[in-house]
Amino acid sequence: MTERVPILIVGGGIGGMAAALALARAGFAAHIVERAPEFGEIGAGIQLAPNALRVLDGLGVLPDLAALAVRPRRLVLMHADTGQPLTTVDFGAQFERRYGYAYTVMHRGDLLAVLLAACRANALVTLEAGREVTELADLGRAARVGFAEGGGYECDAVVGADGLWSTARRLVSDDRPLTDAFVAYRGALPAGDVAPLAGRGGAPAGPDDEIIWIGPGKHLVQYPIRRGELYNQVAVFRSRSYSPVTEASDHWGTPAELDTTFADCCDQVRAAAAMVNRDRRWVMYDRDPLDNWTTGRITLLGDAAHPMVQYLAQGACQAIEDAECLARQFTRCDGDAVKAFAGYQEERIPRTATVQRAARAWGEIWHDGGPVIPLLRDRILTRRDRDDYTDLDWLYQARPTAS
């Protein structure tokens, strides 16, 4: 006999864990299946803006996160080639009063570990690792999920939180991930091994700040994580050797090309880029926004629904927002999955589509190498006040929820 599962979540990453915890705290049993043999996160740093912290606070995990996180004093935007400051966003008391929470950065693995511990402590959450979904179908009265090793579940509801290359997404779209030839190299080093270079020589940024260096076809992000014990660095650049023919290969966006791209940067950036981890490259992918995430009793969440480029640092934040909305809709609809999914995507699709498009636009503004956009960008940025948050309100302020 096929076992019955009320709500199955495919994918045990940050979005899947947050969704399971949100559903469980709302009184709904949630069952996570993860294809990897263990629950864990690849990568290093993650940025949590107030819109995500608001949800995480409601899930009861904020104190545990705070013990592992760093609250940067400021975001400092610098020009990667000239080394000149462009603008500063003050993350101090005024920012926190405006949005209710301090901007927070931490290790991705630490965030997942806290969510995992909270899920394990909740009797309504079931966790299974090492289970690869190979069959997924809506049957009308239920959804069917089958596994590579055999067996399966019949579910009242399935949430596909299975990331950029989502299997669940194929049920609602035949699209493919898109790249504009940017790749990232990232990693964290012991803070004692890499003194943040931006604070030297009188530069206006220091080791307690998040620093973003932008320039034509490239940028570098730096900030401390894990209580300040580690220093996270992400180097991103557009590969000149990319072509659609070679997209699936690893012959473009190489470490050698990273060095070439950052060779003309200012001394601080060039030295920092030389220390970036080279073990793995991440191709920067997103997809066009969809106008539907759902088929029957199956819906999407997080990167499966709305993968976005990282230039607004909102990928995980939007997945966490998804989790809160999904649980709230299940409560509003008294557990009726079909109605809950309809309300969920009606609320979330406009929001996430706006963030996806804004992230693309922000990346274009950062990376433009022409004669006009950088001139206008730098003129506008250097004239703004460090406590002018008007351009952040749409993203970070609390939003009214559907009744």
| In a domain? residue 302 | yes
pLDDT of residue 201: 43
Secondary structure string (H, E, C) spanning 196-265:
CHHHHHHCCCCCCCEEEEEECCEEEEEEEEHHHCEEEEEEEEECCCCCHHHCCCCCCCCHHHHHHHHCCC
Single-letter residue type at 311: Y
| In a domain? residue 401 | no
Query: How far apart (Å, rounded) are the C-alpha atoms in residues 317 and 321?
Result: 6
Of 39-48, 174-183, 340-349, minimum mean pLDDT range = 39-48
Number of domains making up the chain: 1
Beta 178-190 vs 230-238: how paired, if at all?
Answer: antiparallel
Kindly tell me the burial class for residue 277, based on how many C-beta atoms sit within 10 Å of its own C-beta (0-12, 13-18, 19 or more).
middle
pLDDT of residue 109: 95
For 75-125, write each residue's pLDDT tens digit.
Answer: 999 999 999 999 999 999 999 999 999 999 999 999 999 999 999 999 999
**pLDDT mean over 301-326:** 98
| In a domain? residue 385 | yes
Percent of the chain with pLDDT over 90: 91
Q: Which structural domain, as residue segments, surrounds residue 341? A: 3-176+287-396
| In a domain? residue 208 | no
| In a domain? residue 91 | yes
pLDDT of residue 203: 53
What is the full DSSP assignment across 285-351? Answer: EE-PPPS---BTTEEE-GGGT----GGGS-HHHHHHHHHHHHHHHHHHTTT-HHHHHHHHHHHHHHH
| In a domain? residue 52 | yes
Contact indicator for 352, 302 with CB cutoff of 8 Å: no
Is 185 designated active site? no
User: What is the domain-level CATH number for residue 157?
Assistant: 3.50.50.60
Give the confidence band of 402 by pLDDT, cuts at 50, 70, 90.
low
| In a domain? residue 382 | yes
pLDDT of residue 366: 97
Q: What is the chain's mean pLDDT, rounded?
A: 94
| In a domain? residue 59 | yes
pLDDT of residue 206: 74
Q: Which of 223, 311, 344, 396 is catalytic?
A: 223
Query: How far apart (Å, rounded) are the C-alpha atoms in residues 9 and 34?
Result: 9
Contact indicator for 97, 398 with CB cutoff of 8 Å: no
pLDDT of residue 202: 45
For 24-56, write each residue's pLDDT tens digit.
Answer: 999 999 999 999 999 988 778 999 999 999 999
pLDDT of residue 194: 72
**In sequence order, which residues have a C-beta less than 8 Å from that of residue 218 and are 6 or more positions away?**
80, 235, 236, 237, 238, 261, 262, 265, 367
pLDDT of residue 315: 98
For 281-292, write each residue's pLDDT tens digit.
Answer: 999 999 999 999
